[in-house]
Amino acid sequence: MSHSDSTTALPESGAGWSGLVSGKNAIYSVTLAGSVALHAVNVFVATTIMPSVVKDIGGLDYYAWSTTLFVVASILGAALSARLLNAAGPRGAYLAAAGIFAIGTLICALAPAMPFLLAGRFIQGLGGGFLYALAYAVIRMVFEPTLWGRAIGLISAMWGLATLTGPALGGMFAEIGQWRAAFWTLIPLIAGFAALAAATLPARAQAGDGASPLPKAQLCLLTLAVLVLSAGSVGSAVAVKLAGIGGALAAIALLVYCERRSLNRLLPNGALNPVGPLGGCYAVIGFLVLGMQPEIFVPYLLQVLHGQSPLIAGYLAALTALGWTLGTMVSAGLGEAGGRRAVLAGPLSGLCGLVLLAVLAPQQSDGAWMILGPVCFGLVLVGFGIGLAWPHIVTGVFRFAPEGQQDLATAGITTVQLFATAFGAAAAGMVVNLAGLTEPGGIAGAQSAALWLFAAFAAAPVLCLILRFYGAGRKVS
């Protein structure tokens, strides 16, 4: 899912970083960063151990569902977080979120079969969505405005920390055949975080804090689109898969219809026109993130086709996230002209990476670096392309947001990002199952799945390039 935060474009403050790590602010910083760290580490742990999970309890057909259900539930949790905060206050909201997250984690640790694991992942995702969204809401309550920008930067950096620790935690236990222990290890961390939140955060929300009306119909249709596509991916019957695709497209069409006519919006005015300035930015965000979703199958393919251990496969899969970070660092300081070039170069980088992976990932090897090295480079290129374009696309959303809808536009970035993640994970499951990952399965099935997975998702950066020339990509910087 998200490996970068969309709200980091707030202006830098004059206050130094020392303001975040002194006095009571230091405790707040640890607490809020800890909430995002729990969510992020869990994302990488689950990605790393999934090959071991399906080897132990079965359910290869449902491999992508672990990510899909988690992200869909995260969208719902993020959407409901303002209501939870308003009803329970910061302290109560965080305790409730941690409790939900812990329940989901326990179910995952005890799961005897894939349906139980998927139920746990959904509950985890709901709690994780709360934890993720609450961090940004509570920043405004516990820090002075001069510290908001740096506080957001701090908690966003937790994704980088998770890139290092998540694959290590998951891979270490998968190596010894104890994937359940990876979930059990999260329980004391959740308990420690809950104790810290209870001891440090205020009990009540600020006066006047409230939640805008919830776009219920749109959220239901968004969820339905992802779940129908996921359901259609299971099994080998082509008719079922076509029905899943058709049902998902119908749900998206209804979502667009409701969004255009509803007073309670998910996205600001103009967001649904893909060739308009604002809608083009959202479309590029969606397609950039969509092109990254083959990563959920990377640990499995590296283990089956390239003889990598769970630990190494987990770290290599995280190269896409590393590429995203590197691309953002390169791109963030570019000016207006450089930003326009970055919006073009980003999708080109992603396209080159996916084509490279489509050619080389299916080639069976014993881990020889003549093949594995270029595969790793392809993974980095995919993430690097997203990071290269990301700051300028996000800035475009801020620039083109209608007057009075800036907050809705900012929240819409996360909504589009998470929906693209969930829908992309479901689509990836559809592609690999159609390509034979489970039937005929084995090496031949994995090779066919790798080829079609990366080749099919290469369409995402191509669509970004089309939008670059015909939509808002020409104006984002």
Tokens found for residue 433: 């199952």
pLDDT at residue 470, rounded to an integer: 67
Work out whether the CA dihedral 98, 103, 104, 108 comes out positive or negative. Answer: positive
Question: How many CB atoms sit inside 10 A of residue 448's CB?
Answer: 17
Q: What is the mean pLDDT of residues 266-282?
A: 87
Cβ-Cβ contacts under 8 Å for 182 (sequence gap 6 or more): 45, 48, 49, 169, 170, 172, 173, 174
The answer to whether the CB of 394 falls within 8 A of the CB of 413 is yes
Count Cβ neighbours within 10 Å for each residue of 297-331 and write b for 16 or more, e otherwise: bbbbbbbbbbebebbbbbbbbbbbbbbbbbbbebb
Is the pLDDT at 6 greater than 50? The verdict is no
Extract the tokens encoding 39: 């969510």
- φ, ψ of residue 111 in degrees (nearest 5): -60, 120
- DSSP summary character for residue 268: -
Per-residue model confidence as pLDDT tens digits over 60-88 = 989 999 999 999 999 998 888 888 888 88
Contact predicate 474/282, CB 8 Å: no
The answer to whether the CB of 122 falls within 8 A of the CB of 70 is yes
What does the block give as tokens for 281?
A: 């930015």
Q: Could you tell me if 180 and 109 are in contact, meaning their C-beta atoms sit under 8 angstroms apart?
A: yes
Helix (H, G, I), strand (E, B) or coil at 16: coil
- pLDDT at position 452 over 90: yes
Say if residue 13's pLDDT is above 90.
no
Q: What are the helix (H) ranges across 361-441? A: 369-400, 406-435
Lowest mean pLDDT across 54-58, 91-95, 319-323, 471-475: 471-475
Residue 190 clears pLDDT 70, i.e. is over it: yes
Nearest in space to 175 (alpha carbons), one of 315, 374, 364, 318:
315
Q: What is the pLDDT of residues 383-392, one digit of tens each?
A: 999 989 888 8
Q: How many CB atoms lie within 10 A of CB 3?
A: 27
Q: Does 10 score more than 60 pLDDT? A: no
* Structure confidence by residue, pLDDT tens digits, 417-437: 889 999 999 999 999 988 988
235 sits in which H/E element: none
Confidence of residue 235 (pLDDT cuts 50, 70, 90): low
Q: What is the CB neighbour count within 10 angstroms for residue 187?
A: 14
Structure tokens at 283: 């479309």
Range with the largest mean pLDDT of 138-152, 330-344, 455-469: 455-469
DSSP assignment of 51-66, as one string?
Answer: HHHHHHH--GGGTTHH
What is the distance between the alpha carbons of residues 432 and 447, in angstroms, rounded to a whole number? 10
- Token match 């969309």: residue? 6
